[in-house]
Amino acid sequence: MKRVCIVGCGAIGSLYAAHLARVAEVHVFVRREAQARALNEQGLRVSGKDAHNFTARVQASASARAMPEFDLGIVATKATQTEDAFAPVGHLFDRGAVISAQNGLGSEEILAEHTRGWVVRATTFMSGTRHSDTHVQYELDTPTWMGPFEPRGTPFAVVQQAADLVVAAGLKAEALEDARPAQWSKLIFNASVNSVSALTELPHSPHFADETEFSSLGNLLHALIEEGKAVARASGIQLHEDPWEMNKLGAQTNHPPSMLYDVRRRLPTEVDFLSGAIARQAERAGVAAPLHAAMYRLIKAKEASWQFADENRAVEAAQSQP
Amino acid sequence: MKRVCIVGCGAIGSLYAAHLARVAEVHVFVRREAQARALNEQGLRVSGKDAHNFTARVQASASARAMPEFDLGIVATKATQTEDAFAPVGHLFDRGAVISAQNGLGSEEILAEHTRGWVVRATTFMSGTRHSDTHVQYELDTPTWMGPFEPRGTPFAVVQQAADLVVAAGLKAEALEDARPAQWSKLIFNASVNSVSALTELPHSPHFADETEFSSLGNLLHALIEEGKAVARASGIQLHEDPWEMNKLGAQTNHPPSMLYDVRRRLPTEVDFLSGAIARQAERAGVAAPLHAAMYRLIKAKEASWQFADENRAVEAAQSQP
């Protein structure tokens, strides 16, 4: 795996690109021409602890035209952008492998539609802050878990090779025979916390773990997580970690989840890949997931409200009952 | 019933006060001194169709001190203000009757705590637009349904007298042996529509009745309404109207529900008396109401987010994963 392409260069994509450039030829496929130019001219700077302070050379492009074939790809766009970002370059991985390092469930299926290469299911707990197109700060030194995407029959050896490369680059990674327990643990956690944050506009605050009163928000988080666990169980997936414990820890951080960021900027959210994915999987598995379905429908309607401004303005006029 | 007091002079309170002033001595108890002064100086103007164009004389006060005893009261504040508004004047109704004409469930209990008089359960479908402290526009010429508040054992004759007075004043009213079927029909409708509107920031738009896709919002409304009906059933209450039919009609209006107005202005909502009341009644009746409980907890948390501004501001800073 000598030639690697990172698709999407946000915080997570930037961390992979810069680290992997130390052990492979790294190309970066981005949406904006200006970002490609800046990366080619200035390189990609990582700041953080210890060995994570350096500037890497990468070859960036906003067009698939001039790009070569790759041994490995890592797709790190928002899940909502997978289709648009990967369709133009998918054929470049036909003789290689491609990893989805995205939030939620369902991105692997989109990758598989656009490449004949091996598809790898991954869940990353890395975190970083993107300061500019060419500067990312490495925060949590936590691993990426990888496993085969079952419908494609990806050999474990391919997953192991990819994990080895990421480890050689100085990041944490682990190859697993089955990555779904890790993916579903994060999915249930992420779906529950992101939906509630997007609707309440609270960051991941202590309210999320508070169960002292009947009205307390922690009761809802608990119910969402239990419902997600029941869907995993009905789908034959044993969880790697308890999402409720993840929620209790996270609720001490006041961290703003990505969907809160999206809602504040009126950007399309990843809800189709989070609560929406849980609700749809519940239907397939023949179990009920009324709460995740409710969150899904509320957030889709919230997105619709941004196109519904005229009628909304009526609320500013004098108010009548009820 | 010769001397009447209206507590709270918003759109609904103003409509009762002005009309009743044509057949009784009407006092108005309001919160703001300026509103009392304006009403005493200018009277209360009603505009609308036919017989609903006139200006009435009322005696307004922001202090209970100088007020006489009353034969009848109508409390028309927001449900969240019942306690504060009624506690100072409750004793003035000890030898009379008092009607709650408020949204949701639970206001009657608060009235009963503060008066020894008869308590009347009422549900109004009237609607008006308040143009100023002294001018209200009459819109929907729809009735107020009244019945005994059961725990107080209010005689039906008292309810009938009150309804007769309202009818004599030129408004529609009906005395019922049991007002709960009407109250619960409106409660389930109101709770479902208001919660969804507050969280999505959509007015009561066609989305609320759309069930074409898995993600469609109408599916959630339907589920909330079915859940509400199950709680009514478990509580021994037969509904007067089907709230789903009420929702289908309302979804053609793009009307902004009152809770959307509150959320936009960061005012306390009536959720404790709507989805919160359904969820608590479900607990008492031994049935599940996970969706109304979810809406209740989300809206309480949204209210809490307004006091949580510092942490919220973090979202404006650079964004990190996940």
Query: Is it the case that residue B107 has pLDDT exceeding 80?
Result: yes
Query: Is it the case that residue B125 has pLDDT exceeding 70?
Result: yes
| Chain position carrying tokens 């643990």 | A185
Q: Select from A215, A264, A301 the Cβ nearest to the Cβ of B297.
A: A215
Residue B180: closest CA among B142, B235, B228: B235
Q: Select from B201, B305, B319 the Cβ nearest to the Cβ of A200.
A: B305
Is residue B106 left, alpha or beta, with left meaning phi > 0 and alpha meaning psi from -120 to 50? left
Position B187 scores a pLDDT of 97
Query: Is it the case that residue B56 has pLDDT exceeding 90?
Result: yes
Position B127 scores a pLDDT of 84
- Pairs across A and B, CB distance < 8 A: 190
CB A152 within 8 A of CB A129: no
More confident residue, B310 or B213: B213
Position B7 scores a pLDDT of 98
Q: Select from B207, B291, B322 the Cβ nearest to the Cβ of A294.
A: B291
Position B237 scores a pLDDT of 96
Position A322 scores a pLDDT of 43
Residue A227: closest CA among A272, A278, A269: A278
Give dist(CA B135, CA B117) in Å, integer.
31
Position B318 scores a pLDDT of 43
Q: Which chain B residues touch A124 with a CB distance below 8 Å?
A: 321
Query: Is it the case that residue B14 has pLDDT exceeding 80?
Result: yes
All structural domains of chain B with their residue ranges:
3-177, 181-308
Mean pLDDT across B145-169: 97
Position B13 scores a pLDDT of 97
CA distance A288 to chain B (A): 12
Query: Is it the case that residue B277 has pLDDT exceeding 90?
Result: yes
Position A319 scores a pLDDT of 46
Across chain B, mean pLDDT equals 94
The model's confidence at residue B313, banded by pLDDT at 50, 70 and 90, is: low
CB contact under 8 A, A201 and B300: no
Query: Is it the case that residue B92 has pLDDT exceeding 70?
Result: yes
CATH for the A3-177 domain, from 3.30.930.10, 3.10.180.10, 3.40.50.720, 3.30.70.20: 3.40.50.720
Q: Which of residues 164-183 of A touch B (CB under 8 A)?
A: none
Residue B198: closest CA among B96, B315, B300, B79: B300
Position A185 scores a pLDDT of 96
Query: Is it the case that residue B158 has pLDDT exceeding 50?
Result: yes
* Cα-based torsion angle of the residue sequence B100, B104, B106, B108 in order, rounded to the nearest 10 degrees: 10
Q: Which two tokens stand for residue B98?
A: 């008092």
Domains B3-177 and B181-308 agree in fold: no
Percent of chain B with pLDDT over 90: 89
Position A310 scores a pLDDT of 53
Position A321 scores a pLDDT of 41
Note the ipTM here: 0.90
Q: Which of residues 123-142 of A touch B (CB under 8 A)?
A: 124-131, 139
Position A308 scores a pLDDT of 82
CA distance B95 to chain A (A): 30
Position A320 scores a pLDDT of 44
The model's confidence at residue B309, banded by pLDDT at 50, 70 and 90, is: low
Position A197 scores a pLDDT of 98
Q: Which two tokens stand for residue A146?
A: 């990888």
Question: Which stretches of chain A score pLDDT less than 50?
Answer: 311-312, 317-322
Query: Is it the case that residue B312 has pLDDT exceeding 70?
Result: no
CB contact under 8 A, A223 and B283: no
Q: Select from A261, A304, A320 the Cβ nearest to the Cβ of B127.
A: A320
Please say whether the structural domain A181-308 has been given the CATH code 3.10.580.10: no
CA distance B2 to chain A (A): 27
Query: Is it the case that residue B321 has pLDDT exceeding 70?
Result: no
Is residue B118 left, alpha or beta, with left meaning phi > 0 and alpha meaning psi from -120 to 50? beta
